[in-house]
Amino acid sequence: MWNILGITPTSDEDVIKTAYRGKLVSVNPEEDPEGFKKLRQAYEEAVSWAKKAKKKKNPLEQWMYEIEQIYENFYRRIDADEWEEIFENEICTDLDTAEEARLEITRFLMGHYFLPQFVWKRVWDVFEFEEEREMIAEKISNDFITYIQYRGENEDYYDYQLYEGPVDGDYDAYMKNINMLKTLMDDEKYEEAKPLVEKVEASEITHPYAKMEVLKYYLAKEDPRWEKLLLELREELYEDPFLTELEGELLCRQGKYEEAKEVFEQVLSQVKDHQGATRKLVEIHQKLGEYEQAKKICLDVLEDKIPDERICLAMVEINKELIRQWKDREDKQMDVAWCYYQNQKFDQSLKVLRKLKPEGEIEFDYYNLIARVLLETGDYEEGFKMTQIWISNIEKLTGNEKDYERKSKRYGYAHFIASMHCLELDMEERSQEYFMRALELDTEQIDVMMYRERRMESFLKRKEYERCIKEANIVLEISEFFYPAYVYRQEANYHLFRAQQVMDDFYRAIELAPDQGKPYVMVIRMLLNFNMLSEVKNMIQMAEKNRVQDPEFFFYRLEYDRLQATSEEELLSIAKKMQKLVPKLANKEGAICYRIGIIYDRLSETENEEDYANEALRYAKKAVKADKEVPQYQWLLADMYQKFGEYEKAVLRYQTVLVLDASLSDAWIDMGSAYEAMGEDDKAIDAMEKGARAHERHEYVHNSLMNLYMRRFARDRERQDFDQALVHANAQLEVVANAYFYRERAYLYIEDMQLSKAFMDIRKSYELEPEDLYAISSMGYIYRLMGDYKKAIEYYCKAEKKAVTQQQKFSLYRWWAPIYERDGQFDKALECYARCLKIDGQAVEVVEEIAWIHMRMNDYENAAKYYEKAMTMEEGVKDHLLTEAAKAYYYNGNRLKARKLLKQAELMFSYSGDVYCQIGEFYLEEKGDFKKAYKFYYEACGLCKEEPYVRLVEVFSKMGKEQDAKKMCRLAEKKIAEYYGSMEDFFRKKEYQKYVYYNIAMMYYYSGEIDTARQYLLQLQERPMCYFCSYGFCYEEKFAEAVLLAMEHKDQEALKLCRRILAQDRNLGEVWQFKNKLEERN
């Protein structure tokens, strides 16, 4: 505020007002509202400060006011005499005021910590923190007490006497900037450092070490300004160790490694723990191939328990090289085992150790190492025995041994390792004994924290979440600044579904380390579980603002993107980014591969279906290989096996899912689908019923069961299957009464041709979602089945406006065309099919329908052309198309082509009874060649069920062999009973009831059993119209009426019906033959 007003701190309000008015002249509120706002705020704060300063104070308040005044003036702040006068004040030693003064100055220091070392040391000594630490810790954070001690015992990195700048400069902000700049430069985050470099360069305040960080930035960015800045620093910091370090870096850049090595060794002789010099010395030894020397430096650093990630990473690379050099040397096998252990290759370390004999010089280190390795490999029983020998060996040390100090220092750690083995073996009492002994032996806080952190990790892995939380609470009582405790406690609470505690620990953790990813990850995972995507987005933005660089965070960021993605390109991009994370997140390989598998599974519904499905299967296998114990991975693999038709494999995986987690009842449903595809209906229903019982109000299980029972009903026509399907359809609507499930029940009713009930459900669906494409098109469909074509077309026109995707439009036109066919509007039907082909030019069933319409239009040339086209499109449907094309050529007068196609069908499909029946039908109905019809129907016997036997009755009758017709009728009855159980079962199990009753009635008609034929023909009239029929009326029903009329000698009425049928379709040979017979009779 004083900088903005342009004056030094003062309690004189007149001086403040004068300064404010003077500044106000140059600030126009309309032109610079932000500047005016800052000026006004500075004025109000200054007046408030002045009034507070003039207020009469008690001695303690006056003492604190003087401290504030010193801190505000930087040059007074760094003056030892100023502070000495503060600490000599009797308020610091008087029994009545000392404790309160200590509390007040500590609170002040918590927010004003940019002070020289001598201030912290005097605070520590004057207020007797060492002697009364336990009592003080009741009111002041123990961690801040430790911080005061640390600052008092350690020299300042930045010499406060070297700062230069105005008295009233914002030194605290400047120091924060250069501290952050140093951190970023140490981490080689040059792009993030750039704005701080600019701030430091623009500041009126300077410090040589700040210039040094800027110089490092120039060097990293190859900015030529570094040379000039280096010359300045050489004058300002002659023989300073940190400048010497920089000179060493320059020598490294020039490839003068031996000279650089001497420089860095010189730095370390001046500053023992100089991090930068240590790192560079390790790097130089690596470049010179001196790996043993490099490793020794790394071990010395780690021995001092100084956490340095770069040193750890360097040692990994050093160990790799040493393993390569030593792997064949017998005298170095113990060292090789240590290298593997330090690189976390525990199995390889153990393999080397198994070949060694624990004797001689290596005995001590052998038990030291193998006890640790066995803890990591999970061999706890043997590991505990090895640890006991290790402890015994330490206890036998006399003090004269080589490396005695190093070996004896492991006594506490050995007890800790023993405690961990016992913990994993569930030997609770012994584990506690060893652990408490470890804490007695190693009292340094860093050791205590390390041991307790390892216990938290173990409890988390063992899923003992409450114990993990308890351990974290103990640690946080010792130090509320121990970051890992918050992270472990947060994850434990996540697994216990304690959302508030997860959030609480998140905020505590990021106060300490806002750029660390784990706390964000746990919150994002929790929010994803609750599908709170907007909150996930906010959390991601917060993490990115805090420059989180954790690969696991990037993974969950991509998971959020996956859930938001809508296009194929977005999903593919996310999958590729996830693939790149696998090497960085080895422990997350399963989770990453699982997500990639889900992406490709979703993409398999697009045009490149097969390629994406293969990728989904590949990644599902990778996920399971990475972690077989995660049920979701097994489930995805099961789904992919089912998609590829490998149903037995799918069933085994679904069973594995349920073994891993019995609560995942949906797996029963998917397993049921696999069983159904295998044709094992009983197992399918059993599996799905288990899923329904486990989760009665599951959102879709009853619908799945309804469809299973419905499909079985469609196949077997067992009434009990329909009844069970209806039970589940009703149960589904009790759970979720939405438009979709009303339509589902309607389709069940349609399967049983209960059209009035189906209409009520479809109308309900439409009332619930009058703008929904499927609700509208279903209205068209039900009107079509009910024969109200005008209404059907009205709703299909409405549906057309709602169809968005090509697939939706294709399906709509595909179902729309038959309405026009039934109504005799063949041109419009062809127009619908043409639209279908424009969307999917390879839709063979559409081409076949077009051929059929041309047949009905008596356009046999085009009919033949389209049948030929259909035959070239899909090999699997060529059998019946050959006979249909033969009919087209026959009616078009090309008898030779018709015979060739029939011969081709005979030769190609000699194994197919259906094809023989089709050829037989052609000769029977189209050509009236009864001998050839007999031949093909006879060949079909044994290859088909009842059809050839039923049709042979007609053949024999038309050949004038009445007795053979009666015998064949008996044989047909026998075959029907053999295949279906009885005639009643036959009718119940067959679809397309009118067609089935018609065939049986005509069988009895041709066998001369007129009364039985009449009985079935009457029942035929009661059957519902087949939903696939493209005629305006059922021609079998009308023809049956004609047959009945002829039986009653009402030939003219029968002829009239025959002519009506032929007016709809002139290609019905059987009707032509019957008509001609009637005309001859009359």
Q: CA separation (Å) from 13 to 16, 44, 54, 248, 798? A: 5, 11, 10, 55, 79
pLDDT at residue 877 tops 60: no
pLDDT, tens digit (0-9, with 9 covering 90-100), for 491-511:
999 999 999 999 999 999 998
Confirm if 779 and 795 have CB atoms less than 8 A apart.
yes
304 pLDDT tier (thresholds 50, 70, 90): low
How would you write 941-960 as a 3-class SS string?
ECCECCHHHHHHHHHHHHCC
Q: Indicate left, alpha or beta for 165 from its phi (over 0: left) and psi (-120 to 50: alpha).
A: left
CA separation for the pair 119, 96 (Å, rounded)? 23
- For the ranges 12-26, 332-346, 587-601, 952-966, the lowest mean pLDDT is seen at 12-26
pLDDT at 499: 93
pLDDT of residue 776 exceeding 90, the answer is: yes
Least confident stretch, 403-412, 613-622, 741-750: 403-412
**pLDDT computed for residue 520 by the predictor:** 96
pLDDT of residue 966: 93
Q: Are 728 and 744 in contact (CB under 8 A)?
A: no
The band of 769, judged by pLDDT with boundaries at 50, 70 and 90, is: very high
Least confident of 413-427, 660-674, 1010-1024: 1010-1024
Q: What is residue 164's three-state secondary structure?
A: strand
pLDDT value at 146 more than 90: no
pLDDT recorded at residue 2: 72
pLDDT at position 33 over 80: no
- Distance, in Å, from the CA atom of 666 to the CA atom of 669, rounded to the nearest integer, reads 5
Query: What pLDDT does 637 receive?
Result: 96
Instruction: Quote the mean pLDDT of the chain.
Output: 88
Q: Is the pLDDT of residue 305 over 60?
A: no
- Mean pLDDT for 336-360 is 94
The pair of three-digit structure tokens given for residue 405, joined into one six-digit string? 């100090």
Could you tell me if 185 and 217 are in contact, meaning their C-beta atoms sit under 8 angstroms apart? yes
If you write DSSP's letter for every residue of 210-266 in order, what string do you get? HHHHHHHHHHHTT-TTHHHHHHHHHHHSTT-HHHHHHHHHHHHHTT-HHHHHHHHHH
Q: Which of 179-193, 320-334, 421-435 has the lowest mean pLDDT?
A: 179-193
- Choose the most confident range, by mean pLDDT, from 14-23, 125-134, 404-413, 575-584: 575-584
CA dist 172 to 111, 120, 177, 211, 327, Å? 11, 17, 9, 17, 54
Calculate mean pLDDT across residues 70-89.
92
pLDDT tens digits, residue range 1052-1079?
Answer: 888 898 888 888 778 777 788 888 888 8
Of 858, 845, 786, which Cα lies nearest the Cα of 817?
Answer: 845
528-544 mean pLDDT: 92
Count Cβ atoms within 10 A of the Cβ of residue 833 and give its class: 0-12 exposed, 13-18 middle, 19 or more buried: buried
Q: What pLDDT, in 10s, does the model give residues 115-144?
A: 999 999 999 999 888 888 888 888 888 778
| pLDDT tops 70 at residue 1027 | no
Instruction: Give, in order, the Cα–Cα distances in Å from 365 to each of 232, 293, 302, 373, 406.
Output: 52, 20, 17, 12, 11
Residue 15 binned pLDDT confidence (cut-offs 50, 70, 90): confident
1070 vs 321, residue with greater confidence: 321
Per-residue pLDDT, averaged over 541-560, amounts to 92
Selected residue with higher pLDDT from 620 and 232? 620
What was the pLDDT predicted at 183?
86
**What is the percent of the chain with per-residue pLDDT over 70, rounded to a whole number?**
97
The beta strands (E) that lie in 410-525 are given as none
Query: In this predicted structure, what is the pLDDT of residue 5?
Result: 78
Residue 991 confidence (pLDDT)? 66
Most confident of the ranges 239-253, 619-633, 693-707: 619-633
Q: How far is residue 953's CA from residue 931's CA, in Å, rounded to a whole number? A: 13
| Per-residue pLDDT band at 875 (split at 50, 70, 90) | low
What is the crossing angle of helices 647-660 and 666-677, to 10°? 160
pLDDT above 60 (res 113):
yes
Provide the H-helix boundaries in 530-646.
533-545, 551-564, 568-581, 589-603, 609-626, 631-643
| Sign of the dihedral defined by the CA atoms of residues 1030, 1034, 1040, 1043, in that order | negative
Residue 373, pLDDT > 90, answer yes
| Residue 54, CA atoms < 13 Å, CB-side half-sphere | 10
Provide the token pair at 152: 């008092």
941 DSSP β-pair partners:
944
- What does the pLDDT read at residue 1028? 61
Highest mean pLDDT: which range of 698-702, 779-783, 906-910: 779-783
pLDDT at residue 892, rounded to an integer:
86
Q: What is the mean pLDDT of residues 755-773?
A: 94
What local confidence, expressed as pLDDT, does residue 456 receive?
Answer: 96
What interhelical angle do 363-377 and 346-354 show, nearest 10? 140
In tens, the pLDDT along 406-436 reads 888 889 999 999 999 999 999 999 999 999 9
Long-range residue pairs from 743-748, CB within 8 A, at least 24 positions apart, any chain: 743/774, 743/775, 743/778, 744/703, 744/706, 744/707, 745/706, 746/778, 746/782, 747/710, 748/706, 748/710, 748/722
Q: Is the pLDDT at 559 greater than 60, yes or no?
A: yes
For residue 944, which phi and psi values (nearest 5 degrees)?
-120, 175
Model confidence at 836: pLDDT above 80: yes
Residue 141 confidence (pLDDT) = 80
**Tens digit of each residue's pLDDT (9 = 90 or more) over 460-475:** 999 999 999 999 999 9
With CA atoms as reference, report the closest residue to 673 among 663, 685, 665.
Answer: 685
**Model pTM?**
0.58
C-alpha torsion sign, points 925, 931, 935, 941: positive
Q: Structure tokens of 505?
A: 């620990």
307: pLDDT confidence band, cut at 50, 70 and 90?
A: low
Q: Is the predicted pLDDT of residue 1034 greater than 80, yes or no?
A: no
**What confidence score (pLDDT) does residue 463 get?**
92
DSSP state of 361: G
Confidence of residue 657 (pLDDT cuts 50, 70, 90): very high
Beta bridge pairs of residue 206: 164
Contacts of 623 (CB under 8 A, 6+ apart): 589, 590, 591, 593, 594, 597, 630, 633, 636, 637
Q: What is the pLDDT of residue 876?
A: 60
pLDDT of residue 913: 83
Spatial separation of the C-alpha atoms in residues 674 and 310, rounded to whole Å:
53
Task: Determine the pLDDT at residue 56.
Answer: 60
Q: How far is CA 820 from CA 796, 870, 972, 1070, in A?
A: 11, 22, 38, 25
pLDDT of 704 above 70: yes
Per DSSP, 46 falls in state: H
User: Given this model, what pLDDT does residue 746 score?
Assistant: 95
Predicted local confidence at residue 726, as pLDDT? 95
Asked if 721 contacts 744 with a C-beta cutoff of 8 angstroms, the reply is: no
